[in-house]
Chain A
């Protein structure tokens, strides 16, 4: 009839493959769609297919619903787990500043000697002696500065309660001071994937990348990668594993002195 009959037949045959997948309740592929007109047709077909099914057929598979419910339950449990009282000191108050003021007041009331003791306690659970403390704080960390560097104070120990992280910025280096309950570390705030700036999520105890959703634990390792996923199970809060492995976050050397956390960094 018309000279576009042949291409029309081809397109109609190809598109019928798409419809067969859709109507067979499989997952139709975008690859079968040739142009934007057909994309509109695919959307129309999807609505037609859905409306043509009895209501019972439009209901979710109970097994799927149950599986996803477990994920939600896991998230509820995960939050409960990371919100457990930290191993050192008393119950944390919601909201960092309140907590800081309270402990500050306690410190003042307790006097300087006690303050030093408590400060040691923050990192002291596993870091009793000076030697151990040094090991726990820095020995496996990379030397950030090749030649001349200096210690710069980046946080007060008070601010770095177990389970918390404090952002710091020096001329040469931006990062977080983190306390995972056992060890105080400094970690770079730059994602090792594309260099986006990480943010701390208290509920999940991780440093999260806003760009591609990589999560790093408070030791600086990728926490939601495939390897971890396989060895330790699903990362709560993510539907699937982060697709590629990433290097650890840079960990500059830190020390605790005079109730302050110091980082070894370069002069500007």
Chain B
């Protein structure tokens, strides 16, 4: 009947990799990023009107992705959060969000670097070695001249301080 990709596949081709990167930048691992990306597009199959404007489709996809990420993190909290940041996916206009949605991936990375600069030296150092240089605890400990146990405590404190400085939801 029809040749070429159907409407869902077209939406997918256009947005799949960008949505994946957006999710990955916020969950930090591939298995979860794959799950959440799949959730977004399966939701699209069910609810997305592919006849919408391209900008609206992009905004819808990113809004669903945001909700999926929020739901994902909700499982990490020991007390139920009052779900203030949970936006029901709909078609209400989001000003400029088509634009914001076009390149939101880099913002997380930029924010992380700004945040690192605000940390005390030894906190920044341990996080850089562990997360940016991707060293093991033992390598990090050696590089900093401390014990493995102290390296773990230091990274724990550094992360706690970083979390206090910057709420990831702000970005």
Taking beta carbons and an 8 Å cutoff, which residues of A are in contact with B?
Answer: 8-9, 11-13, 15-16, 19, 21-23, 25-28, 30, 33-52, 58-61, 64-65, 68-69, 71-73, 75-77, 79-80, 236-239
Contacts and interface: CB of A to CB of B under 8 A. Distances in A.
Contact of B30 (A11, A34, A37, A61): A61
B16 A73 contact: no
Contacts of A26: 29, 31
Nearest to B7: A76
Contacts of B164: 40
Given A19-B130, A43-B168, A47-B109, 5 more contacts: A12-B149, A40-B163, A51-B108, A58-B25, A72-B45
Interface in B4-18: 5-9, 11-13, 16-17
B12 A49 contact: no
Given A73-B9, A238-B42, A59 B112 contact: no
A119 to B, nearest CB: 30
B101 interface: no
A73 B5 contact: yes
B134 interface: yes
Given A48-B28, A77-B6, A237-B45, A43 B73 contact: yes
A80 B9 CA distance: 13
Contacts of B7: 76
Contacts, number: 186
Contact of B41 (A27, A42, A50, A68): A68
Given A51-B25, A59-B21, A239-B42, A9 B149 contact: yes
A59 to B, nearest CB: 7
B20 interface: yes
B102 interface: no
Give the contact-size bracket for chain B: 35 or more
Given A49-B131, A72-B45, A39 B73 contact: yes
B78 A25 contact: no
Given A12-B155, A40-B163, A52 B134 contact: yes
A238 B41 CA distance: 10
A131 B50 CA distance: 45
Nearest to A17: B152
22 contacts: A9-B152, A12-B156, A19-B155, A27-B31, A39-B76, A42-B73, A42-B76, A44-B159, A44-B166, A45-B28, A47-B111, A51-B132, A59-B21, A60-B30, A64-B37, A68-B37, A69-B9, A69-B13, A71-B38, A71-B41, A73-B5, A237-B45
A60 B29 contact: no
Contacts of A61: 30, 34
A68 B17 CA distance: 11
B162 A36 contact: no
